[in-house]
Structure formats: structure tokens, C-alpha cells
Amino acid sequence: MDGQLILHEDARSGNCYKIRLTAAHLDVPLTRHNYDIMRGETRTPAFLGTVNANGRIPVLQVGDRFLPESNAACFWLADGSHLIPHDRFARADMLHWMFWEQYNHEPNVATLRFWRVFVGEDRLTEAQQVQLPAKRTAGEAALRLMDEHLAGRDWFAGGAFSLADICLYAYTHVAEDGGFDLGAYPHVGRWLAAVAALPGHIAMEPEAALAA
Amino acid sequence: MDGQLILHEDARSGNCYKIRLTAAHLDVPLTRHNYDIMRGETRTPAFLGTVNANGRIPVLQVGDRFLPESNAACFWLADGSHLIPHDRFARADMLHWMFWEQYNHEPNVATLRFWRVFVGEDRLTEAQQVQLPAKRTAGEAALRLMDEHLAGRDWFAGGAFSLADICLYAYTHVAEDGGFDLGAYPHVGRWLAAVAALPGHIAMEPEAALAA
């Protein structure tokens, strides 16, 4: 590793949890620096000027360099390890699921959790309110697609546990916070249990942390 | 390469162009199979059952295997080539920009182009109409972030032309179709010209193809 690793995060974020879960499976220590996104702590001039001009967490700091985007940080941590398939097609297929997670899953499954648990449904803007039905439908479609994929497989890509599973686990396992019924997706349920039973697994946060 | 490569695409899509541009830089031949997304040709049972259960293009077919998600298909094509940095941090930093493109750039810059050029502003749903101002603001923020990043650099990651540049070029170079003023981003303008001047570069499509 290149010097100290610092995770700039909000511990309640599934995107931040992905990085901690990857590091836990690799037995790599991370120093954690917490920000409260609800108080604008990632939009200060200091944060924007040094950590991430995009004003978002997580950012993985590697020595004096900063790496935004959760799935890219997981890739850096896992590069060369068993969490990334050696086979060329399987490696790209893992990335397929990671890009799909950020495009089709996170903006729906994670955003509804954020709006319900952190913002509060009665405090949403009109533009957010109008998007609720489409995000609900798209989130259910994402979970259904996962369920169909897992009907004949234990893991998402390459026949083994990989970053694709870690990145999809993060927001799927707390999808009920966003009002999704995980009971409707039995193969997803089996896969969630299998991920949580792996040696090296860590939980996201104690329940108390969510009661912010 | 593993047998014939077939690109399942809609030639007007920037996400499909990324894959053709990557293949052109690598001098790899692709067989092209076109679908008209406006006529639902990627939502047929045959497409959903065989090519992509997610109902989207592009999909890169490698022999009898199917790889959805444009940026993952670019990674498969370029794996082991000069388009992916050998340095571990630079490789992850390239992925950072590719994940950022799909999360912060494409849903704004590409979606406004799609809504204006392909759907027509007068045919947008109420939920789409309500999102226009936020997507405009977010698209401008994405272009500004690119401009600031390029102020001190020629390329996005690792000090050399990489997949990050290809994936960001695709929708940035046609951002004016979405009503964005590229003249406001001079470093982006210089970078666009530099990408287009590289040996191996190909254009997206003749203008005529856009007049669908």
C-alpha cells in the first residue's frame, strides 16, 4: 500500500460502506474521517479544494492523492486480489454490474432510502415528489433483474464472490429503508445471507447510527 | 480476441459510440447490429431474453457471451492495451472518471440531448418537464468540473489518453444538442479538439443519421 489510507466518508452512506467492506475482506486498515452530508460538510471550500471538487463522499485518500467514486476506490483496494476475477471476460462482467449499480440501482434504491430516512418524505421538493413513482418502479425493476440473475447463480460475475457482490450488497441489504419489500426477491435474499456469512464480513453500522 | 465481436447498438447513442471509438483506437473490427430504441426494438422478448435483460443498448457480444454497460465493454476491449494505465492509482483514477461519467454527466448532458433531439421537448412527460432545470444545472456543473480539471492537464487520468477520455468525449462533443454552450468551457474545447486529432479517431455518425 502507498502510505496511509484515509476514507473520507459519511458512515450512514452505502457507498462509503462498500469501501470499508472491501478493505475488511482484504484485511487492509483504513483511517476514517467522518463528514455529515446533511450539514453541508462536503461542500465547504476546504473540502471542494482538497478532497473532491465534486463535493461528494466517499473519497479514498492514498497518501496525498484523492480517489473519488466508491466503485473506483473499491477497484484500487482490490486490484490484484481475489476480489477481481483474473479472467478477462469475468473482469469486465464484474465492471458491468458495478456500472449498472451506479446507473440503475443506486439512483433509485439508495435515493429512496436517502429521501425517506435522511431528508424525510414531507420535506422533499416538488421535483423530488414528482419523481417518486418512477424511482419506485425503477428500483423494483433493478431488484427484479438481480433476482432473475441470481436464480441460477450464487454470485454476480465470474462464478465467485467479487467487487460486484460487494458494491450491490451495500444498498440492497438496506433497501427496506427505502420502502422496498425484499421478501419479493427470494434469490436476492439467499445471496444477501451468503454475503453476510462470508469470513471477513462486517456490518454497515450499528442501528443507532441510523437514528441521526 | 474470442471469436466474432458484435456490437448491439443504436448508432445515434453516445454510449454506443464509445465502444466503436475504443475499437477504432485498437484497430479491432466490430460487426454492427442496429436497433431503433425509439421503436422499442430493445424491449422485445427476444432482445430481453438473449441480449440484455435490462432492455438497453449498447451490448458487446463476445462469441456467445453478452456484455452490457458501455464502459464495461470499453474496458473489455482495451484490457491490456495502452488505453488503460499500467499504474495502479492511474488505473483506478481512470475508472473514477468513468463512474463519474455515468453518474454525474450522462444522466444530465446525454439525457437533455435525448429529450430535445429524439423525444422532443413538447412531448416530455410532466415528471420529465419538472426535472429540466435540475438536469440543466447538473449538466453545467459536470462540464465546469471537467473544465477545471483540464485547466492544468491534457488528459483526464494518468497523464495520457485513456478510456476516461473516450467515455467522456462521447456525450461531451455533442453537448450542444442538449442546449449546453461549449464555448463556456475553453479547456474542454481544447481537449475535444485534441481527442478528435488523434490518429485512429473516428466520428460518431454522419450528421444525416441524427435527422431521424
Band (A87; pLDDT cuts 50, 70, 90): very high
Predicted complex ipTM:
0.96
Among chain B residues, the shortest Cα distance to A62 is held by B89
**pLDDT above 60 (res A16):** yes
At B13, which amino acid appears? S
Residue B76 is nearest to which of A80, A92, A106, comparing CB atoms? Answer: A92
Residue A136 in contact with partner chain B when CB distance is under 8 A: no
Residue B76 is nearest to which of A69, A89, A126, comparing CB atoms? Answer: A89
Question: What was the pLDDT predicted at B206?
Answer: 54
pLDDT averaged over 10-residue windows placed end to end, chain B, 212 residues: 86 96 98 95 96 96 98 98 98 98 98 96 92 96 98 97 98 98 98 98 72 45
Residue B135 in contact with partner chain A when CB distance is under 8 A: no
Residues 6+ apart with CB under 8 A from A150: A156, A187, A188, A190, A191
The cell for B99 is: 463512474
Residue A205 in contact with partner chain B when CB distance is under 8 A: no
**pLDDT above 80 (res A208):** no
Question: What was the pLDDT predicted at A127?
Answer: 87
Residue B136 in contact with partner chain A when CB distance is under 8 A: no
Question: What was the pLDDT predicted at B207?
Answer: 53
Dihedral pair phi/psi, residue B105, rounded to 5°: -105, -60
**Cβ contact (<8 Å) for B92 and A67?**
yes
pLDDT digits (tens, 9 = 90+) for A164-199: 999 999 999 999 999 999 999 999 999 999 999 999
Question: What was the pLDDT predicted at A2?
Answer: 58
Residue A157: burial class (beta carbons within 10 Å; 0-12, 13-18, 19+): buried
**Chain CA centroid to CA A31, Å:** 18
> Helical H runs in chain A?
14-26, 45-46, 70-78, 88-100, 111-113, 126-150, 163-172, 186-196, 207-210
Is A193:A173 a contact under the CB 8 Å cutoff? Answer: no
**Cβ contact (<8 Å) for A71 and B145?**
no
Question: What was the pLDDT predicted at B2?
Answer: 58
Residue A211 vs residue A63, higher pLDDT: A63
At A115, which amino acid appears? W
pLDDT digits (tens, 9 = 90+) for A98-132: 999 999 999 999 999 999 999 999 999 988 999 99
- The string of DSSP letters for A30-90 reads -EEEE--GGGTTTSSHHIIIII-TT--S-EEEETTEEEESHHHHHHHHHTTSTTS-SSHHH
Question: What was the pLDDT predicted at A211?
Answer: 47
Domains and CATH numbers, chain B: 5-78 (3.40.30.10), 88-196 (1.20.1050.10)
Among the listed residues A53, A63, A51, A64, the one whose alpha carbon sits nearest the alpha carbon of residue A9: A51
Residue B76 is nearest to which of A53, A67, A88, comparing CB atoms? Answer: A88
Mean pLDDT over each residue of chain A, to the nearest integer: 95
